[in-house]
Amino acid sequence: MRQDVIIFGPPGAGKGTQGALLAERFGLLRLSTGDVLRDAVQHGTPLGLEARRFMNAGELVPDAVILGIVGDHLRGPAATRGVIFDGFPRTLAQAQSLDGLLAQLGRTLGAVLVLEVDDETLVRRLSGRRSCPSCGALYNVYLKPPREDGRCDVCGADLGQRPDDAADTVRRRLEVYHEQTQPLLAYYESRQAPLRRVNGDRAVEAVQRELVGLMQS
Ligand code: AP5
């Protein structure tokens, strides 16, 4: 499928989870700006060094940095495939630049899929999230705890927490979402983009079924 899609929603709404499933199902490239930034932080690149302080404080990384990442991907690995944008755009400037970039490259935005989940559920999801630094398995201390506290069921390594999943930082990420990102919904509505709202507070499979249906409609 050669179609670009935005998966939109607050931190923890399930953008990464659902975006990865959609990418696999439809053969799309999932471009998560958060994943690109975390990879840069982990490798200590200049991009990572610049982004880390914003991310750990729950603030947005400057638009120019993000637009550089997206431009590089759209001109590179994504050139012949449809893209699922996960966690992008997050500001009006990013949304406007994306419109310009897509037009320049002869691409069209097929849909904006919006996952809706209330803030209290998101705080539990994110502050409870743990991951295995060794094999990548994901857990949640409230929703999907490991058999032994703090240890990976699969490989036995000590589990870690994303620095920005500390409860205070999660609350700041949610504030930033409501202040700077949620207003983009009005932007897309005013441009008559095909915007579809989905209840993200259901089982992963139920949310995925609805998203797949929307992608095919
Ligand atoms: P980013 O990595 O994009 O983080 P986020 O938007 O805060 O999203 P998350 O990855 O935490 O959540 P998600 O919605 O993907 O949900 P997930 O599927 O993981 O960005 C991190 C930071 O990078 C930003 O704060 C900012 O600093 C910077 N950044 C990134 N992009 C930027 C941009 N464009 N501009 C400026 N700065 C940018 O699920 C979350 C948890 O919930 C998991 O544990 C999962 O297992 C669980 N879960 C998922 N679905 C369900 C379900 N249906 N039921 C129960 N649990 C579920």
The pLDDT tens digits for 26-69 are: 999 999 999 999 999 999 999 999 999 999 999 999 999 999 99
- Kindly tell me if the per-residue pLDDT of 146 is higher than 60: yes
- Kindly tell me if the per-residue pLDDT of 143 is higher than 90: no
Our answer to whether residue 173 is catalytic in this structure is yes
pLDDT band (50, 70, 90) for residue 71: very high
**Torsions phi, psi of 199, nearest 5?**
-70, 110
Phi-psi region of 58 (alpha: psi -120 to 50; beta: other; left: phi over 0): left
- Kindly tell me if the per-residue pLDDT of 12 is higher than 60: yes
Lowest mean pLDDT among 71-80, 151-160, 195-204: 71-80
Q: Which residues line ligand 1 (CB under 6 A)?
A: 9, 11-17, 33-34, 37, 54-55, 58-61, 66, 87-88, 90, 94, 125-126, 129, 138, 140, 143, 164, 173, 204, 207
- DSSP alpha helix (H) spans, 105-192: 119-127, 167-176, 184-190
Measured in angstroms, how far is the CA atom of residue 17 from the centroid of ligand 1? 9
pLDDT band (50, 70, 90) for residue 193: confident
Our answer to whether residue 130 is catalytic in this structure is no
- The answer to whether 111 and 211 are in contact (CB under 8 A) is no
Q: What is the percentage of the chain residues whose pLDDT exceeds 70?
A: 98
Residue bearing the CA closest to ligand 1, atom 30:
34
In whole angstroms, what is the distance from residue 126 CA to residue 76 CA?
A: 32
Measured in angstroms, how far is the CA atom of residue 108 from the centroid of ligand 1? 25
**Closest atom, ligand 1, to C-alpha of 115:** 14
Helix (H) or strand (E) holding 5: strand 4-8
In whole angstroms, what is the distance from residue 30 CA to residue 19 CA?
A: 7
The pLDDT of residue 75 is 87
In whole angstroms, what is the distance from residue 68 CA to residue 70 CA?
A: 6
Measured in angstroms, how far is the CA atom of residue 16 from the centroid of ligand 1? 6
Question: Structure tokens of 185?
Answer: 């919904």
The pLDDT of residue 2 is 58
Q: Within 13 A of 51's CA, how many CA atoms are on the CB side? A: 26
Measured in angstroms, how far is the CA atom of residue 34 from the centroid of ligand 1? 8
- The answer to whether 191 and 78 are in contact (CB under 8 A) is no
Catalytic entry in 30, 38, 107, 129 = 129
The pLDDT of residue 76 is 83
Pocket test for ligand 1, best of 8, 17, 86, 101 (most atoms within 8 A of CB): 17
Question: Structure tokens of 134?
Answer: 């060794």
